[in-house]
């Protein structure tokens, strides 16, 4: 069912998932298109971004850095939206904006959370290569990871929105880059298209050995966005003085219970000590005020020069967002996942 | 049996301990006093330092930052020693030096690892308040912990050689300091003598709740030197942006096997991410070249002004070193543990 002019389809959080979300945790509802009040604009969603952090906002108790989605409320998410009615100075009907309209066809905004996109070609880039995921890669890698020329940088989810940008920026800084991805197609893409020095298939039974073989000089920067078995394979390869920016743990977002033993913490903390490792968590929301301008300038130049590319995985239709999101948590996407909600 | 002029008692590593060391893991051997060759000096041990890191050097495979003690070799350790014979320019009979003579009455040195102590009053200080433990506290707290005035700093082993200095320096920097120690006597000492704002008995059944009560504004710096149950109680209290210098894990040094579950790692890494925590391991050997001079200058001034004090726990006689060391690993010492091997 495509977008219509007189119906607002909204995908609500129907239940807090236990483990991997299922379609029953979401509910599609049709309501009237909202009417903008004084100072408000009506936005129509063109592209909806789907990102792993959303899983954390589906819990009853949120992660702290952002409020959880209440039951019965629309799922939140970044969007590229079109202003279709404006009662607000400075925003005109037809304007393209970066917004937080969530998983729905239409939304209201007072304009304070909107970023005008002008006549940006391929505006979905505002959700990927010029947006939050790439900014996450930029801050985590450069400010915390601080790769030096000749060092080895490892990143998992290597063809995903964050990982692929981490690896390409690390290459630009002269580092050797080893990616980790699920499947031969993604690994080939990481090497042939993204320019990684190597990419290891995390599904290979010999994964840990293959990673060690690809990191003969150890690992100086491990950009942590998955956790789980990948981290276990990385840990013994970390060099003295290694940096581990901690961006996410997609392998654990669906943990329903405290995982069984053995307890891996003492081994990890011993490595942190013995190898003088710096493990530093970050939340990208903290860094817009100080680092976003530099990111936009650098990234726009890299994209224009073709030095960084970001594959998009475009899913057609808002109604397919839940299935696409569940697939994202299983690593079934290939590139930055966006939902095409309306084409103009 | 006291030190003699013609016998060198040496305490050797007899076996790699499994879990907590036992007296049988050590062996006392009597040999001839070694004879210094050209360019060498003969040292007599006055004070031997006993420190938790030594437990790691008793393993067959060492921790990486220092070589393990081979079976049948003397245990290593920092000492205050007296030059009793010198065949080396610049070192005279009678000179007092900081040395690495290990667990023995006599040792040879070519002088390269010796630091002259002049006529230092209370020379055992060179092993504590003016030595490696206090330097560890200084670098870990100031360079990694970076406490700001008004912040809350928590340190365990609060009356130990490192912990007591961490807390006192943090107070000097204007932080609120909460110590953790084993037993009411130590807690009283931390508050009344060392000037901590509070000190919680880790043996109290309500320990976690008492710690939370003492840290109403959360924890900004946790100086990690114990691990185990203390860390579990600290974790939920850490504030956004908290710093965790990782200095040691005395609670785990005697782990014989990988600990059983549940696996605490996902919970810890989730906290690192959500609270943007920086966990940074350090090994004090790395910092002598760049930070030792500043430490000596600051610490000498603080000691002279009585702003920092360090209680010493002096054990009499080299033959008692193994039992004292085993007690150290169980938290039975009270202050910086040193062995008085000879009194002049």
CA distance B224 to chain A (A): 10
Instruction: Indicate yes or no: CB of B227 within 8 angstroms of CB of A266.
Output: yes
* Least CB–CB distance from B262: residue in A249, A252, A260: A260
CA distance A41 to chain B (A): 33
**Nearest-Cα residue of chain B relative to residue A257:** B262
Q: pLDDT digits over A98-118, tens only? A: 999 999 999 999 999 999 999
| Total residues belonging to chain B | 344
| A53, pLDDT greater than 90 | yes
At A325 the pLDDT is: 98
CA distance A8 to chain B (A): 34
Regarding whether A193 and A52 lie in a shared domain, the answer is no
Distance CA B29, CA B16 (A): 17
Percent of chain B with pLDDT over 70: 99
Distance CA A98, CA A117 (A): 7
Q: Between the CA of residue B217 and those of A211, B211, B212, B224, B276, what are the distances in Å?
A: 43, 11, 9, 19, 17
| Chain B contacts in chain A segment 267-286 (CB below 8 A) | 267-283, 286
At A256 the pLDDT is: 67
Confidence of residue A73 (pLDDT cuts 50, 70, 90): very high
How many CA atoms lie within 13 Å of A312's alpha carbon, on the beta-carbon side?
A: 20
**Residue A3 within any structural domain of the chain:** no
Q: pLDDT digits over B279-298, tens only? A: 999 999 999 999 999 999 99
The CATH number that applies at residue B80 is: 3.90.180.10
Number of domains composing chain B: 2
Regarding whether B207 and B96 lie in a shared domain, the answer is no
Question: Which residues on chain B are in Cβ contact (under 8 Å) with A263?
Answer: 258-265
Closest alpha carbon to A284 in A88, A90, A51 = A51
| B257, pLDDT greater than 80 | no
As a whole number, mean pLDDT of residues B135-164 equals 97
The CATH number that applies at residue B212 is: 3.40.50.720
Tokens of B233: 């109680």
Q: Does B227 touch chain A (CB under 8 A)?
A: yes
**Nearest-Cα residue of chain B relative to residue A275:** B281
Regarding whether A229 and A86 lie in a shared domain, the answer is no
Tokens of B88: 């080396």
Among B281, B282, B285, the residue to mutate for chain A (most A Cβ within 10 A): B281
- Output the DSSP codes for A169-214: HHHHTT-EEEEEESSHHHHHHHHHTS--SEEEETTSTTHHHHHHHH
Q: Which H or E element spans position A299?
A: helix A288-304
Q: Which H or E element spans position A45?
A: strand A41-49
Regarding whether B152 and B246 lie in a shared domain, the answer is yes
Buried b (16+ CB within 10 A) or exposed e, A289-305: eebeeebeebbeebbee
**Residue A299 within any structural domain of the chain:** no
| A250, pLDDT greater than 80 | no
Distance CA A172, CA A163 (A): 14
Distance CA A142, CA A145 (A): 6
Instruction: Indicate yes or no: CB of B274 within 8 angstroms of CB of A240.
Output: no
Q: Which domain holds residue B204?
A: 132-285
| A158, pLDDT greater than 80 | yes
What phi and psi, each to the nearest 5 degrees, are found at residue A66? -155, 145
Cβ contacts of A120 within 8 Å, gap of 6 or more? A96, A126
Regarding whether A240 and A226 lie in a shared domain, the answer is yes
Question: Which residues on chain A are in Cβ contact (under 8 Å) with B218?
Answer: none
As a whole number, mean pLDDT of residues B301-305 equals 95
**Nearest-Cα residue of chain A relative to residue B64:** A274
Q: pLDDT digits over B5-63, tens only? A: 789 999 999 999 999 999 999 999 999 999 999 999 999 999 999 999 999 999 998 88
Tokens of A343: 């084409």
As a whole number, mean pLDDT of residues A178-185 equals 96
| B215, pLDDT greater than 80 | yes
Regarding whether A110 and A53 lie in a shared domain, the answer is yes
Instruction: Indicate yes or no: CB of A266 within 8 angstroms of CB of B272.
Output: no
Question: Which residues on chain B are in Cβ contact (under 8 Å) with A286?
Answer: 276
Confidence of residue B256 (pLDDT cuts 50, 70, 90): low
Q: Which H or E element spans position A221?
A: strand A219-223
Closest alpha carbon to A36 in A101, A85, A77 = A85
CA distance B89 to chain A (A): 37
Instruction: Indicate yes or no: CB of B279 within 8 angstroms of CB of A279.
Output: yes
Instruction: Indicate yes or no: CB of A246 within 8 angstroms of CB of B261.
Output: no
Q: If you average pLDDT over every residue of chain A, what do you get?
A: 94
Regarding whether A21 and A110 lie in a shared domain, the answer is yes
- Provide ipTM, 2 decimals: 0.89
As a whole number, mean pLDDT of residues A248-268 equals 80
Regarding whether B51 and B181 lie in a shared domain, the answer is no
Q: Does B256 touch chain A (CB under 8 A)?
A: no
| A190, pLDDT greater than 70 | yes
**Residue A290 within any structural domain of the chain:** no
Q: pLDDT digits over B146-157, tens only? A: 999 999 999 999
Check if the beta carbon of residue B339 is closer than 8 Å to that of residue B318: yes
**Residue A296 within any structural domain of the chain:** no
Longest CA–CA span in chain B (Å) reads 63
In the three-class reduction of DSSP (H, G, I as helix; E, B as strand; rest coil), residue B344 is classed as coil
At A10 the pLDDT is: 98
Q: Does B252 touch chain A (CB under 8 A)?
A: yes
As a whole number, mean pLDDT of residues A26-35 equals 97
Regarding whether A70 and A112 lie in a shared domain, the answer is yes
| B278, pLDDT greater than 90 | yes
**Nearest-Cα residue of chain A relative to residue B228:** A266
Cβ contacts of B122 within 8 Å, gap of 6 or more? none
Question: Which residues on chain B are in Cβ contact (under 8 Å) with A278?
Answer: 278-281
**Nearest-Cα residue of chain A relative to residue B286:** A276
Q: Does A28 touch chain B (CB under 8 A)?
A: no
Q: If you average pLDDT over every residue of chain B, what do you get?
A: 94
**Residue B27 within any structural domain of the chain:** yes
Cβ pairs bridging A and B (under 8 Å): 130
Q: pLDDT digits over B61-115, tens only? A: 888 888 999 999 999 999 999 999 999 999 999 999 999 999 999 999 999 999 9
Confidence of residue A161 (pLDDT cuts 50, 70, 90): very high
Confidence of residue A248 (pLDDT cuts 50, 70, 90): confident
Regarding whether B39 and B60 lie in a shared domain, the answer is yes
CA A140 to chain centroid, in Å, comes to: 13
Q: Which H or E element spans position A242?
A: strand A238-246
| A340, pLDDT greater than 80 | yes
Question: Which residues on chain B are in Cβ contact (under 8 Å) with A239?
Answer: none
At A5 the pLDDT is: 79
**Residue A225 within any structural domain of the chain:** yes
Regarding whether B278 and B152 lie in a shared domain, the answer is yes
DSSP state letter for A142: I
What phi and psi, each to the nearest 5 degrees, are found at residue B169? -65, -40
CA distance B8 to chain A (A): 34
At B227 the pLDDT is: 84
**Residue A305 within any structural domain of the chain:** no
Among B231, B266, B287, the residue to mutate for chain A (most A Cβ within 10 A): B266
- Output the DSSP codes for B79-140: EEEEEEEE-STT--TT-EEEE---SBSEEEE-STT-EE-TT-SSGGGGGTTTSHHHHHHHII
Regarding whether B140 and B252 lie in a shared domain, the answer is yes
Closest alpha carbon to B322 in B309, B337, B335, B312 = B337
At A1 the pLDDT is: 61
């Amino acid at each position: 069912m495509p977008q219509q002019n007189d119906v607002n389809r909204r995908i609500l959080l129907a239940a807090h998932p236990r483990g991997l979300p299922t379609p029953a945790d979401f509910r599609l509802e049709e309501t009237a298109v909202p009417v903008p009040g004084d100072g408000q604009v009506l936005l129509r969603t063109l592209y909806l971004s789907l990102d792993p952090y959303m899983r954390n906002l589906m819990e009853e108790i949120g992660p702290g850095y952002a409020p959880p989605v209440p039951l019965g409320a629309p799922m939140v998410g970044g969007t590229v939206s079109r202003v279709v009615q404006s009662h607000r100075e400075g925003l005109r009907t037809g304007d393209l904006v970066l917004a937080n309209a969530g998983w729905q066809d239409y939304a209201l905004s007072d304009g304070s959370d909107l970023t005008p996109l002008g006549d940006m070609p391929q505006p979905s880039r505002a959700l990927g290569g010029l947006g939050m995921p790439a900014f996450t890669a930029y801050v985590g890698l450069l400010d915390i990871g601080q790769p030096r020329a000749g060092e080895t940088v490892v990143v998992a989810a290597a063809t995903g929105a964050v990982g692929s940008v981490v690896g390409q920026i690390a290459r630009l800084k002269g580092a050797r880059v080893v990616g980790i991805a699920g499947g031969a197609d993604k690994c080939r893409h990481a090497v042939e298209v993204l320019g990684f020095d190597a990419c290891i298939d995390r599904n290979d039974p010999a994964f840990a050995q293959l990673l060690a073989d690809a990191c003969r000089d150890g690992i100086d920067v491990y950009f942590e966005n998955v956790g789980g078995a990948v981290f276990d394979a990385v840990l013994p390869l970390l060099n003295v003085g290694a940096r581990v920016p901690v961006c996410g743990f997609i392998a654990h977002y669906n943990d329903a219970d405290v995982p069984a033993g053995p307890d891996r913490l003492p081994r990890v903390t011993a490595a942190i000590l013995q190898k003088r490792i710096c493990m530093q968590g970050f939340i990208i929301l903290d860094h817009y005020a100080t680092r976003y301008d530099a990111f936009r300038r650098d990234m726009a130049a890299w994209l224009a020069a073709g030095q960084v590319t970001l594959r998009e995985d475009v899913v057609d239709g808002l109604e397919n967002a839940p299935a696409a999101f569940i697939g994202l948590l299983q690593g079934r996407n290939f590139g930055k996942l966006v939902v095409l909600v309306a084409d103009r």
